[in-house]
């Protein structure tokens, strides 16, 4: 049997585009002698559709798309993900389903059993879990079809009380096929391979695993679809962060006829969230995820041009470099807005960066605007000393100017705040926290440095002076980030323990961190939830990002 895996990038709710892409892959696979082609979870409507699933018209369009795809499934079988209606009176109205289309009919259907309701997932809000399990016959074979989470309950500490493959094994399947929408984080690919291996070893069956690729606002899907034989050898491994169409040859008698890409060796036991913070972990993959996140956000939203407030600091430098890579330099405008507190080298560094990248830039000094605001406020402020009010005023002036250019020229403002700043509230609402997309909001400051060095791995793009100078918002004379925050090499590991690993103060202090410092940092995190609640979407690259995957009360007493 000639089996194809279609690893594709879908657009949520764009049924016309998704259906066309799916049909094109079916036709190519059929022309190349394909017997079966496998697509990913909810491929027809895109993942995650969220509350679109509550619209009957959305479901009808999905079902109509299945009808169109079914007409292409003549001599070739098609396994594809889409919502289906629950015919029972009880339970939710929909299933998250995998359709087997063949001979222009729905030859079989499997429903997802394990509906994740954690982090970014909220599937039980919309779907009914499967209540029956059957292998599906196809061209003399018996297929055990599961959907994403269904294979993840094989770990030593199961999250669910049922394992779908256990229910399917009495049907004596020949192949396991799993269709997924498994999102990226910097350790998740290793976890997938480990999970697939455990399933193969436990059930002694080969597995075809098809994942989606592409970014859906904050969630990035990295692909990495895999075919593994019953000896746990990787027969085919599709690329990460790219669309791909790959075929393998398999028969019950001979197994897989040839290896496309052989396994490099055993995969170590998977630890989803490492115990200790490492700024270097997964830098190559994080870089690719951020570029894809920017590119897809703009492409799927119909935007073409970006604008970045370029300060001469490392955060804006990295965002500018990533945006130029994702969108091409001519489509990325840098706006330099120095004040009387900006150092001369900051402007020079920002100019040099844009010259290295080849993107357009403009310089709009804010001195006169700041003086005008200060003069207007003087009757109220009187002789009160210079404070955070004047600092934030500069940030908000910059936010106003950069948003004015965004409105005038149709450019989308890319926010440059990093995760360390967002965690501790080191940012100004309606100022440097403005933007349409948070590029670095899931990258700690030490990861920002690591990514910047990675950008420079072949040639100097980000000027050396930006990499080595002390971080500063430059909102008052001689200001440094260290005036308000602990050194990032100390701060980031503590934040990581609290945010990614959900460790409380006692556990963090037990790791050797100063008790007073831990208390201060955790209090900053909790009391600044109101700021993050007003922030733009953040491209997710870690196991626990601010945004849809982290739900913390704004008004709460814990550690405050």
Query: Rounded to whole angstroms, how far apart are CA atoms 15 and 388?
Result: 50
Look up tokens 């590119």; give the residue. 295
Q: What is the CA radius of gyration of the chain?
A: 26
Query: Rounded to whole angstroms, how far apart are CA atoms 227 and 199?
Result: 12
Query: Rounded to whole angstroms, how far apart are CA atoms 25 and 321?
Result: 34
Does residue 181 contact residue 221 with C-beta atoms inside 8 Å? yes
Query: Rounded to whole angstroms, how far apart are CA atoms 180 and 128?
Result: 17
CA distances from 449 to 279, 425, 456, 500 (A): 8, 20, 11, 20
Query: Rounded to whole angstroms, how far apart are CA atoms 415 and 429?
Result: 12
Mapping DSSP to helix (H, G, I), strand (E, B) and coil, where does residue 85 land? Answer: strand
148 belongs to the catalytic site: yes
φ and ψ at residue 396, rounded to 5 degrees: -75, -30
CA distances from 198 to 192, 208, 232, 498 (A): 10, 14, 9, 30
Tokens read off for 105: 């009919």
> Active-site residue among 148, 163, 324, 443?
148
> Active-site residue among 41, 128, 390, 421?
41
Query: Rounded to whole angstroms, how far apart are CA atoms 245 and 120?
Result: 28
Does residue 543 contact residue 444 with C-beta atoms inside 8 Å? no
DSSP notation for 319-332? HHHHHHHHH-GGGE
Q: How many CB atoms lie within 10 A of CB 557?
A: 7
CA distances from 493 to 186, 482, 509 (A): 16, 16, 12
358 burial (CB, 10 Å; 0-12 / 13-18 / 19+) is exposed
In this structure, is the dihedral angle defined by the CA atoms of residues 234, 235, 239 and 240, taken in order, positive or negative? negative
465 Cβ contact partners less than 8 Å away, ≥ 6 residues apart:
345, 349
443 belongs to the catalytic site: no
Q: Which of 484, 498, 492 is nearest to 446 (CA)?
A: 492
Does residue 200 contact residue 227 with C-beta atoms inside 8 Å? no
515 Cβ contact partners less than 8 Å away, ≥ 6 residues apart:
505, 509
DSSP secondary structure code for residue 68 in this structure: H
CA distances from 228 to 121, 143, 255 (A): 27, 15, 11
**What is the DSSP pairing of strand 219-222 with strand 213-216?**
antiparallel
> Active-site residue among 112, 197, 352, 544?
112
Look up tokens 């094994």; give the residue. 169
89 Cβ contact partners less than 8 Å away, ≥ 6 residues apart:
none
478 burial (CB, 10 Å; 0-12 / 13-18 / 19+) is exposed
288 belongs to the catalytic site: no
Catalytic residues: 41, 112, 148
């Amino acid at each position: 049997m000639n089996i194809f895996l279609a690893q594709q990038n879908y657009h949520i709710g764009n049924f016309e585009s998704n259906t066309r892409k799916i049909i094109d892959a079916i036709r190519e696979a059929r022309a190349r002698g394909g017997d079966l082609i496998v697509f990913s979870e909810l491929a027809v409507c895109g993942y995650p559709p969220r509350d679109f699933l509550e619209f009957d018209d959305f479901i009808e369009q999905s079902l109509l798309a299945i009808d169109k795809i079914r007409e292409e499934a003549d001599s070739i079988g098609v396994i594809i993900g889409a919502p289906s209606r629950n015919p029972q009176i009880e339970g939710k109205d929909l299933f998250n389903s995998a359709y087997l289309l063949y001979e222009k009919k729905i030859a079989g259907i499997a429903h997802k059993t394990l509906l994740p309701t954690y982090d970014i997932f909220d599937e039980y809000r919309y779907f009914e879990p499967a209540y029956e399990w059957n292998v599906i016959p196809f061209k003399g074979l018996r297929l055990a079809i599961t959907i994403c989470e269904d294979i993840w309950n094989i770990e030593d500490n199961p999250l669910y009380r049922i394992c779908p493959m256990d229910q399917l094994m009495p049907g004596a399947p020949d192949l396991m096929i799993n269709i997924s929408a498994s999102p990226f984080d910097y350790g998740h690919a290793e976890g997938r391979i480990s999970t697939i291996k455990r399933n193969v070893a436990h059930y002694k069956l080969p597995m075809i695993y098809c994942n989606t690729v592409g970014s859906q606002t904050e969630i990035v899907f990295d692909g990495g679809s895999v075919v593994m034989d019953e000896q746990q050898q990787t027969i085919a491994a599709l690329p990460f962060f790219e669309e791909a169409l790959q075929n393998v040859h398999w028969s019950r008698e001979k197994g897989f006829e040839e290896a496309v890409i052989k396994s490099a060796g055993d995969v170590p036991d998977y630890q989803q969230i490492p115990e200790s913070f490492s700024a270097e972990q997964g830098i190559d993959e994080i870089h690719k995820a951020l570029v894809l996140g920017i590119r897809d956000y703009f492409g799927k939203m119909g935007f073409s041009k970006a604008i970045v407030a370029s300060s001469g600091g490392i955060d804006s430098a990295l965002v500018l470099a990533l945006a130029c890579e994702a969108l091409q330099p001519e489509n990325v405008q840098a706006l330099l807005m120095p004040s009387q507190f900006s150092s001369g080298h900051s402007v020079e560094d920002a100019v040099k960066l844009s010259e290295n990248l080849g993107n357009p830039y403009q310089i709009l000094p804010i001195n006169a605007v700041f003086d005008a605001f200060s003069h207007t406020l003087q009757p109220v402020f009187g002789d009160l000393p210079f404070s955070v009010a004047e600092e934030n005023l500069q940030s908000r002036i910059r936010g106003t100017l950069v948003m004015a250019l965004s409105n005038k020229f149709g450019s989308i403002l890319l926010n440059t705040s990093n995760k360390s700043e967002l965690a501790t509230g080191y940012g100004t609402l309606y100022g440097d926290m403005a933007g349409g997309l948070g590029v670095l909001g899931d990258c700690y400051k030490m990861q920002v440095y690591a990514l910047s060095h990675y950008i420079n791995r072949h040639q100097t793009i980000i000027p050396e002076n930006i990499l080595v100078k002390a971080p500063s918002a430059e909102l008052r004379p001689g200001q440094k980030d260290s005036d308000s925050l602990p050194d990032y090499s100390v701060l980031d590991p503590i934040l990581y323990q609290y945010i990614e690993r959900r460790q409380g103060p006692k556990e963090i202090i037990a790791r050797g961190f100063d008790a007073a410092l831990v208390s201060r940092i955790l209090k900053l995190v909790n009391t600044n939830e109101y700021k993050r609640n007003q922030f733009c979407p953040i491209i997710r690259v870690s196991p626990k990002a601010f945004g849809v995957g982290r739900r913390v009360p704004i008004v709460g007493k814990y550690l405050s």
